[in-house]
Structure 1
Amino acid sequence: MTNKIVPVILAGGKGTRLWPLSRATAAKQFIRFIGDQTLFQMTLERVGDPALYEPPVVVTNEEFRFLVAEQAREQSMPLSMIVLEPSARNTAAAVAAAAAIVSKQYGDDAVMFVLPSDHSITVDDAYKTCVRIAADAARTGKLVTFGISPTEPATGYGYIELGDALPGGAHKVNRFVEKPKAEAAQKMVDAGNYYWNSGMFLFTAGRIAAEMTTHAPEVVAAATNAVAKAQKDLDFTRLDAQAFAESPSISIDYAVMEKTANAAVVPAAINWSDLGSWDAIWKTGSSDDNGNVVSGNATLIGTKNSLVMSRFSHLAVQGMENVAVIASEDAVYVGKLENSQQVGDLVKHLASSKKTEYLTETHPTSLRPWGGYTSVLNGERFQVKRLFVQPGKKLSLQKHHHRSEHWIVVKGAAEVTIDDSITMLHENQSIYIPQGAVHRLHNPGKILLELIEIQTGSYLGEDDIIRLVDEFGRS
């Protein structure tokens, strides 16, 4: 039993709307767009008060499991559990699985606070008051969401029509409205009793399970069975794949919220954004005197009200207005801010061609539990990468059948194992790893280790890694 709120953070999904920085394997919640924290870390910070919240339950997938663990560690944030979904089944199955876990751990009366991991919210007195009102309503058996006061007739959000007031400050829900056309959105904003659907929910674990049993029995049956057959893997809880796959793929909104008679909404005049477009990133960023939000290497002349972001290349933007110019390591997006809601359509177009499909899937920078790497240059029978290894971390003990590697230390110290020998390398020193040699890289220092890796051979794919020993359970 607990009187505290149990946060359930949904951290799966794929990245398309903030391309080219977000990709299928690089979702936006784990990316640092502007500032030092990712959206996932900001979400952790919002539920970090131990007087109000229990440690969060995070629901994610195989691809993101080490990102979740590492970014929580960076925040010094304890997690109750990292739950791995074996397949994508939308939010209803994730919530049902979390409800079964929370019920087992804290009891049916525990209040769950279901949070997307990719929203930007200012935590002030107004926000805290909304959470308190929503939690109180949830304890009376209501399924509560936040309704965000609309600031414009946005067509990218669903809307909620406010109903009669309930004791304590919440309201009944008259109806949910799907993402509207511009004219309909304007009418709802003018009416004054419609709010954006925030995608955040509060309810007790027992109540949401009961509602799902009524409105989405196949979902709750599959998710509960997947939890009952779950396996522990290091610090992760793996839901049973076969059981979880039997759940329909449906959102919690469609499965329950639009059907229940117990839906409630808390009108929330808070600073909120789902950061679902480059336009939204621009609106939340700190702008200069010309209304420009700039991140990374860029020079702007005669440019106004624009978003310019670069990871590596220096962007020179002249005579532009109301545009987004976004440069990742391997692609550049240029478009009007007002059209940035349609970036997903552009990504679909890129994905439809074999020549550009890879640009939507894999990011040049891949994060790993030990650090990560950035692809710098690819050619016939060679490729160059920048490796970065966190202090105290080590890669798996491994070998390659088809390639040799050259490592050059740029920063920090490297402990390199090759077969039976161990060598310490420092800045500007290098070493050669022959094809087939058993080897390992370790950062024994207290600062980030950076290397340039040059691979040569007949095949350079990531699947040519034979892991013999791995502290992250991948061997």
Structure 2
Amino acid sequence: MKIQPVIMSGGAGTRLWPLSRKARPKQFLNLAGDTSLFQETAQRLSDDGDVFAPPLVIAGRGHGGLVAEQLGAVGIAPAQTILEPCPRNTAAVAAVAALWTARAAPDALILLAPADHHIEDAVGFRRAAARGAKAAAAGRIVTFGIKPTHAHTGYGYIQAAEEIGEEVFRVQAFKEKPDGKTAQTYLDAGGYYWNAGIFLFSPQAMISALEAHAPSILKGAGAALSEAQSQDGGLLLDEEVFSKIPSDSIDYAVMEKTDQAAVVAPVDVGWNDIGSWTEAASDPDSAGHMFEACRNVTARSDGPVIGAIGVEDLIIVATGDAVLVARKTHAQDVKKLVEELKRRGREDLL
């Protein structure tokens, strides 16, 4: 069965400031290797047409050129690039993806994946997708449960119920990001997995679920898509219509309400959502940074050489116009600096 990859590339990546900016957010940066997270995702969801069709990319307005440039650099031609005039969260993206695929490839399954995740074992991930395909073809909306390695408090969890296929389970419940004690009880109990935010479904299954649980999102997405205009190498969704769509995630709008949710688990493929600087790799040694008597320091720069002496557990990020220094325990708070820059009207630093 053919799979239509849909790459969600509309995120802002504010926790990865100051390298991640509006003009080039984190998915277009090389944060985990020699290619960008976006390029890595496109390559992971490609197999020369054996199973995966050319990707549909749904990105932010102004990024059409970046999408074309980065896909061209890895030899991938998209089926289509659709541009969002403003962010409306992942449920609207799922609706656009389902409606577009229902017309372009109605018999294909949609694999909806964020552009900013790092997965070490691409082959293993494709095998996990193959395990979920039968359930998705039968009308299930399948997600992927990452095997937890520790009691992480920054991820949501999926509780699996009875097995309905090979390593495919009915979803018992979705759990919000827990505190440390609760996360440990999940690991001790077993049957709980990190929610990767990756989904596999038929176009009609998602359309039916949205009709039942979020009809205004589906209606708005359909109207915005029908009025889309060519711009910046893609189709720009109608701004007047799209901006009025309720902003909601797939998890809240659909997955927590449908009785068709299923999970492939455990998925053990070296998954990392690169959600903050603590998950990003440091610059390679060739960058010339200098460290004396330092421990557990993440250093990134787009030019300036970083020198540090006698510090530990720090994030140091330097660009031509900004420097970030933060304790790793405060990595999630970087977005607060972005909010402060917005308050000050410093668009030049955003």
**Counterpart residue type for residue 253 of structure 2:** A
1:34, CA displacement in angstroms?
A: 4.8
Specify the alignment match of 2:243 in structure 1. 245
Task: Tell me, yes or no, if the aligned pair for 2:295 and 2:312 is still in contact at 8 Å.
Answer: yes
Specify the alignment match of 2:321 in structure 1. 330
1:218, CA displacement in angstroms?
A: 0.3
Specify the alignment match of 2:65 in structure 1. 66
Specify the alignment match of 1:90 in structure 2. 89
Aligned ranges 1:201-350 → 2 under 5 Å: 201-233=199-231, 235-267=233-265, 268-282=267-281, 296-350=287-341
1:338, CA displacement in angstroms?
A: 2.8
Q: Equivalents in 2 of 1:256, 1:202: separation in Å?
A: 13
Q: Equivalents in 2 of 1:227, 1:135: separation in Å?
A: 27
State which of 126, 138, 145 in structure 1 corresponds to 2:124.
126
Give the secondary structure class of the aligned counterpart of 1:346: helix
**Counterpart residue type for residue 189 of structure 1:** L
Task: Tell me, yes or no, if the aligned pair for 1:294 and 1:307 is still in contact at 8 Å.
Answer: no
State which of 33, 36, 43 in structure 2 corresponds to 1:35.
33
**For structure 1, which segment, 230-239 or 143-152, has the greater mean C-alpha deviation from structure 2 after superposition?**
230-239
Q: Assess, with a 3 A threshold, how the Cα gap between structure 1 residues 228 and 351 changes in structure 2: closer, same or farther.
A: closer
Task: Tell me, yes or no, if the aligned pair for 1:156 and 1:341 is still in contact at 8 Å.
Answer: no
**Counterpart residue type for residue 90 of structure 1:** N
* Normalised TM-score (structure 2): 0.94
Specify the alignment match of 1:351 in structure 2. 342
**Counterpart residue type for residue 43 of structure 1:** T
| Higher strand content, 1 or 2 | 1
Does residue 142 of the first structure (1) align with residue 140 of the second (2)?
yes
Task: Tell me, yes or no, if the aligned pair for 2:2 and 2:51 is still in contact at 8 Å.
Answer: yes
Task: Tell me, yes or no, if the aligned pair for 1:20 and 1:331 is still in contact at 8 Å.
Answer: yes
Task: Tell me, yes or no, if the aligned pair for 1:34 and 1:295 is still in contact at 8 Å.
Answer: no
Q: Assess, with a 3 A threshold, how the Cα gap between structure 1 residues 125 and 22 changes in structure 2: closer, same or farther.
A: closer
Q: Equivalents in 1 of 2:227, 2:335: separation in Å?
A: 36
Q: Equivalents in 1 of 2:111, 2:163: separation in Å?
A: 22
Q: Equivalents in 2 of 1:235, 1:306: separation in Å?
A: 40
1:21, CA displacement in angstroms?
A: 0.7
Task: Tell me, yes or no, if the aligned pair for 1:295 and 1:308 is still in contact at 8 Å.
Answer: no
Task: Tell me, yes or no, if the aligned pair for 1:297 and 1:309 is still in contact at 8 Å.
Answer: no
* Structure 2: runs of 5+ lacking an equivalent: none
Q: Assess, with a 3 A threshold, how the Cα gap between structure 1 residues 246 and 335 changes in structure 2: closer, same or farther.
A: closer
Q: Equivalents in 2 of 1:233, 1:17: separation in Å?
A: 29
1:349, CA displacement in angstroms?
A: 3.3
1:124, CA displacement in angstroms?
A: 4.6
Q: Equivalents in 1 of 2:111, 2:122: separation in Å?
A: 17
Specify the alignment match of 2:190 in structure 1. 192
1:120, CA displacement in angstroms?
A: 0.1
Specify the alignment match of 2:99 in structure 1. 100
Q: Equivalents in 1 of 2:295, 2:224: separation in Å?
A: 52
1:75, CA displacement in angstroms?
A: 1.1
**Looking at CA atoms only, which structure, 1 or 2, has the larger radius of gyration?**
1
**Counterpart residue type for residue 234 of structure 2:** F
1:155, CA displacement in angstroms?
A: 1.5
Aligned length: 348
Task: Tell me, yes or no, if the aligned pair for 1:99 and 1:205 is still in contact at 8 Å.
Answer: yes
1:125, CA displacement in angstroms?
A: 4.5
**For structure 1, which segment, 343-352 or 199-208, has the greater mean C-alpha deviation from structure 2 after superposition?**
343-352
1:234, CA displacement in angstroms?
A: 6.6
Give me the identity figure in percent: 38
* Normalised TM-score (structure 1): 0.70
Task: Tell me, yes or no, if the aligned pair for 1:350 and 1:359 is still in contact at 8 Å.
Answer: no
Specify the alignment match of 1:53 in structure 2. 52
Q: Which has the higher contact order (CA 8 A, sep 6+)?
A: 2
1:150, CA displacement in angstroms?
A: 1.1
Q: Assess, with a 3 A threshold, how the Cα gap between structure 1 residues 241 and 353 changes in structure 2: closer, same or farther.
A: closer
**Deviations 1:246-295 (CA, angstroms, capped at 9, x unpaired):** 3211111111011000000111122100001111114xx69xxxxxx757
Moved >4 Å (runs of 4+): none
State which of 4, 12, 20 in structure 2 corresponds to 1:14.
12
